[in-house]
Chain A
Amino acid sequence: MKSVEELKAIREKALKEISIRDNEDKIRIVVGMATCGIAAGAKSVMNAFIEELAKRNIHNVTVSMTGCVGICRLEPIAEVIEVNGEKTTYVKLDDEKARRIVAEHIVNKKPVLEFTIGAAEK
């Protein structure tokens, strides 16, 4: 270790890997991973969320799983839950849509209305 910068670089890299363990005041993305969700491709959607968040260095969002929401025909489903509890339900997702949700909803704070349950059920 020849400089403090070197140490800081290691810290930044390591922080990324363990940020999942710090669960205060975070936005949550909850992916439905019951049989119906998994069969519809939820697993790959979930990985897309995780990869996109990591790629963009976003640490204030956790991705977790949940069971069947009850509207199996609309799977894969994911909900974005803000720190204040406000909830947006996205349906019929795929990897590409997941990446767009990260870009538009998480980064730019604009929910992707066309993917929401309200749009699908119109």
Chain B
Amino acid sequence: MIYRSHVLFCNGTGCVSSKAPELMAKMEELLVKNGIEKEVKIIKTGCFGLCEKGPIMVIYPEGATYCHVTLDDIEEIVNEHLIKGRIVKRLLLGDKDVSDVSRSRDNVGFFAKQRRIALRNCGVINPENIDEYIAHDGYMALAKAVTEMTPAEVIAEITKSGLRGRGGAGFPTGRKWQFAAQAVSDQKYVCCNADEGDPGAFMDRSILEGDPHSVIEAMAIAGYAIGANQGYIYVRAEYPIAVKRLEVAIKQAREYGLLGKNIFGTDFSFDLELRLGAGAFVCGEETALMTSIEGHRGEPRTRPPFPAIKGLWGEPTLLNNVETYANIPVILLKGADWFASIGTEKSKGTKVFAIGGKIHNTGLVEIPMGTTLREVVYDIGGGIPKGKKFKAAQTGGPSGGCIPAEHLDIPIDYDNLLEIGSMMGSGGMIIMDEDTCMVDIAKFFLEFTVDESCGKCPPCRIGTKRMLEILERITEGKGEEGDIEKLEALAESIRKGALCGLGQTAPNPVLSTLRFFRHEYEAHVKEKKCPAGVCKALLSYVIIAEKCKGCSLCARKCPVGAISGEVKKPFVIDQSKCIKCGVCMESCKFAAIEKK
């Protein structure tokens, strides 16, 4: 069926929660009402990446990208754009003063510096329609692998591409495949780690929601390469849209015979199953993940033996992350040399980041390795809101660290990030401005680790708890001389003694903030001050007598009645009653209240 117009609605989690499905229903209704339902096709697609501007939709053939669309706008879009062919300029993304009919999103700053490989189909195809994936060369890489290449050639190609694991540590993918291929056994498994747990990270979620077939195809290719006929995708149950689209995709792939017996008429057979995780952070660790698939409590075990030798049910198992898999089909189709031409010397290709925090364009971006942090924050991210100063970027989640402003021009790749005490991680990137207290941030991540520690080994279970207690003391103004040194000593023992990667890296947020912002810790401990004005116990609100006009507004706003005074004379805050909510400072029209 040929339509004159295609309307693509983003149906990633971000836009779904900002009511994209209701907008779609309304448009469908209006198309029928106007009798153009056979001329205009509505397609739901995956995440465009610009979640901050959601709900987002794109109308072809014009390629007009509309953002922040509301129910009322839908009627206007149907009447103006779809019936009369007039672009609704006020809803367009980017420059609103466009004279041309089309305004492609590729020209907008947010997209201009990106290079989409892993996200190539997100926001482009309907993830629930296998034909659209096939139209974009889907399953061609699998066809090429099983009909034209030997397993060794597939692995050689992946090795040559320089692809490294996108889940965190950056282990060379080709070598991992090689180890699993070399292991001798009748039964091997291919697993996909879709247990994305870093706070604020949603790269894997968006790939699964927007392009589930790319992961399925890559896992089948991996199965062919290492000699496995069964795969498992371990995905968290709290990603309901991703789970549903994976189920649909697996069903469609089976119907087409792209999963199952004798794929493409060869003797290669491969099938996939989903395993839903309950959302424990530790299950993102490979040994814990496999233990959980086996039906046991998700706890890590010591390595070696590595999964490639002894993994799921004691058999050789290959485990890669979602984004790593999403790169595989393109590498086979376009060639290892093409992939290796993108990126830096030791980090090839691109990396997807979920940018959040104090930044204009929160959302999902895919950049070539070697892009500087400055480009990500200012060119793609649109800078820091309210004209505030950039203070640091946190990458790698609870296992990573903070990158301060002095390193803004560092090209982002695995080795550079490690060198400055952070890590690539799975791709969460939280931007912090001058109002962020670094001790408070370290405390936040440690709270997360303490909550999520599985409790199997004491260094992680008890050590992180002790570190958190010290941090809590410091932020409450009860820090003592020697606390910082104690933190460092504890961090070192946890790093050396913890059983799995999560425990070993848990002190990183503290260590990296200590490295670049030691003075903030010292200010908390020695001067009992929080330089960023975040830690409530360490700050007080004061009225500057010379500026106060005695209007009594603050006194009326104060929820605990801590402010008193005579009208037209300076007011005072009773520090013993003050709960430091800051309402007085917000309400003062003369900027007469200061936070110290």
Is there an interface contact between A16 and B2, defined as CB atoms closer than 8 Å? yes
Q: Tell me if B256 is interfacial: C-beta within 8 Å of chain A.
A: yes
Interface string of B122-145 (1 = CB under 8 A from A): 001100000110110111100100
Please report the C-alpha to C-alpha distance between residue A28 and residue B86 in the assembled complex, in whole angstroms: 15
Residues of A within 8 A of B101 (CB): 64, 66
Q: Tell me if A33 is interfacial: C-beta within 8 Å of chain B.
A: yes
Contact of A67 among B3, B5, B85 (CB under 8 A): B85
Q: Tell me if A65 is interfacial: C-beta within 8 Å of chain B.
A: yes
Contact of B86 among A7, A15, A67 (CB under 8 A): A67
Residues of B within 8 A of A66 (CB): 85-86, 101
Residues of A within 8 A of B6 (CB): 18, 20-21
Is there an interface contact between A1 and B256, defined as CB atoms closer than 8 Å? yes
Q: Tell me if A13 is interfacial: C-beta within 8 Å of chain B.
A: yes
Within residues 101 to 154 of chain B, which ones have a CB less than 8 A from any CB in chain A? 101-102, 104, 124-125, 131-132, 134-135, 137-140, 143, 147
Residues of B within 8 A of A80 (CB): none
Known: A1-B256, A50-B2. A63 touches B264 (CB 8 A): no
Please report the C-alpha to C-alpha distance between residue A65 and residue B131 in the assembled complex, in whole angstroms: 28
Is there an interface contact between B62 and A64, defined as CB atoms closer than 8 Å? yes
Please report the C-alpha to C-alpha distance between residue A28 and residue B262 in the assembled complex, in whole angstroms: 45
Total A residues in contact with B, Cβ cutoff 8 Å: 33
Residues of A within 8 A of B256 (CB): 1, 10
Q: Tell me if A34 is interfacial: C-beta within 8 Å of chain B.
A: yes
Residues of A within 8 A of B39 (CB): 47
**Closest B residue to A54 using CB positions:** B2
Is there an interface contact between B137 and A20, defined as CB atoms closer than 8 Å? no
Q: Tell me if B257 is interfacial: C-beta within 8 Å of chain A.
A: yes
Is there an interface contact between B102 and A1, defined as CB atoms closer than 8 Å? no
Interface string of B1-33 (1 = CB under 8 A from A): 111111010000000000000000000000000
Is there an interface contact between B132 and A4, defined as CB atoms closer than 8 Å? no
Residues of B within 8 A of A34 (CB): 84
Please report the C-alpha to C-alpha distance between residue A30 and residue B264 in the assembled complex, in whole angstroms: 43
Residues of B within 8 A of A4 (CB): 143, 147, 264
Q: Using A4-B143, A11-B140, A64-B101 as known contacts, list a sample of 6 further A-B pairs with CB atoms less than 8 Å apart, ordered by residue number in A.
A: A1-B139, A1-B256, A11-B135, A20-B6, A23-B63, A23-B102
A residues at B contact (CB < 8 Å) = 1-4, 7, 10-11, 13-18, 20-21, 23, 26, 28, 30-31, 33-34, 46-47, 50-51, 54, 62-67
